[in-house]
């Protein structure tokens, strides 16, 4: 397929681009480089530097078969104190993209959604039928885009898939996490083990979990990328398919710490910190729908995620 990858110079987008190329798809990237990196773009791939609102200029007359949409502001804490930025970028920007997709009759869309749409669920594992009750602006804006896509599919022949990620980790095919502001546990833990941070703060050690630390579901970015390629042909015209992407197994913060120490061979200094407001004790995905509809199964375990992230960090 001829694909436009919006946000394709970022962490997940750049990994997906590499797999799309390996699978024989043609790729054009639209990215404003606010959080992405031009040197993440593989040789031979056209990079159009621009805001998501300019997607219509790229789609016009070019006969694209699909759009993969990764462009978003994604820092939860920032979303709470700067909500207008998140509503403007994530929702208004996505509305402009959907309008361009409809105008230029692009038949397929794959959207990067998030488990943050569920908020603090009462029951785990979390299925796609779990009530959506986001607890921050980031999750609310992603849910709003999911709702817009559902409306668009009901009114047009658009075939769309929203993939709700849980905790993405690892690196693949020379691409990995390079965030200016890092909020993810595994890269922060690797930095602390390697001396680039003085310690890792553990937010709460008295949760109702086996070791007292919060439990989260992790999925390797290479597995995530494969789900996006499978999603290109998963939905029927007029259908909006929503699938969770997770490993289906939860790992506590202390289990991640132990894995980081094992992979790196380095001690990881940690410190107990108060619980953060809004943090649930346990978030674990049910990926049964992705398995049934996409034919997708995660293949990489926690150790592989940590090892690949560590290799990428050391390579830089």
Gap between the Cα atoms of 267 and 187, Å rounded: 15
Strands, E, within the chain: which ranges? 2-6, 26-31, 46-49, 66-69, 108-114, 159-165, 167-169, 200-203, 215-220, 240-245, 250-252, 270-273, 282-283
**Strand positions, DSSP E, 79-151:** 108-114
SS3 140: helix
Chain centroid to CA 57: 26
Closest CA to 298 of 215, 225, 214: 225
Selection from 229, 204, 203, 223 nearest residue 285 by Cα: 223
Task: Report how far residue 64's alpha carbon sits from residue 3's, in angstroms, rounded to the nearest whole number.
Answer: 6
**Are the CB atoms for 244 and 195 separated by under 8 Å?**
no
As annotated, the active-site residues are 138
């Amino acid at each position: 397929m001829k694909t436009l990858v919006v946000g394709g110079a970022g962490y997940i987008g750049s990994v997906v681009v590499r797999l799309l190329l390996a699978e024989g798809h043609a790729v054009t990237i639209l990215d404003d480089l606010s959080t992405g990196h031009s040197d993440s773009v593989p040789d031979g791939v056209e990079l159009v530097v621009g805001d998501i609102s300019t997607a219509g200029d790229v789609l016009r007359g070019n006969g694209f078969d699909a759009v993969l949409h990764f462009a978003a502001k994604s820092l939860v804490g920032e979303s709470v104190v700067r909500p207008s930025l998140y509503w403007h970028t994530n929702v208004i920007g996505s509305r402009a993209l959907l309008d361009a997709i409809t105008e230029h009759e692009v038949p397929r869309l794959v959207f990067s959604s998030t488990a943050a749409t569920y908020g603090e669920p009462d029951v785990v594992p979390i299925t796609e039928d779990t009530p959506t009750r986001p607890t921050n602006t980031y999750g609310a804006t992603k849910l709003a885009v999911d709702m817009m896509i559902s409306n668009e599919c009901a009114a047009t022949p658009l075939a769309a898939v929203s993939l709700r990620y849980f905790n993405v980790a690892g690196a693949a095919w020379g691409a990995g996490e390079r965030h200016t502001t890092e909020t993810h546990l595994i890269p922060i833990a690797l930095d602390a083990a390697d001396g680039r941070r003085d310690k890792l703060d553990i937010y709460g050690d008295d949760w109702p979990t086996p070791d007292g630390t919060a439990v989260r579901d992790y999925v390797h970015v290479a597995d995530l990328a494969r789900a996006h390629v499978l999603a290109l042909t998963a939905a029927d015209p007029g259908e909006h398919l929503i699938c969770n992407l997770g490993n289906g197994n939860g790992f506590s913060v202390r289990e991640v710490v132990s894995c980081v120490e094992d992979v790196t061979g380095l001690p990881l200094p940690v410190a107990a910190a108060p619980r953060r407001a809004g943090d649930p004790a346990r978030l674990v995905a049910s990926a049964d729908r992705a398995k049934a509809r996409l034919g997708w199964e995660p293949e990489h375990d926690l150790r592989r995620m940590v090892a690949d992230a560590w290799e990428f960090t050391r390579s830089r």
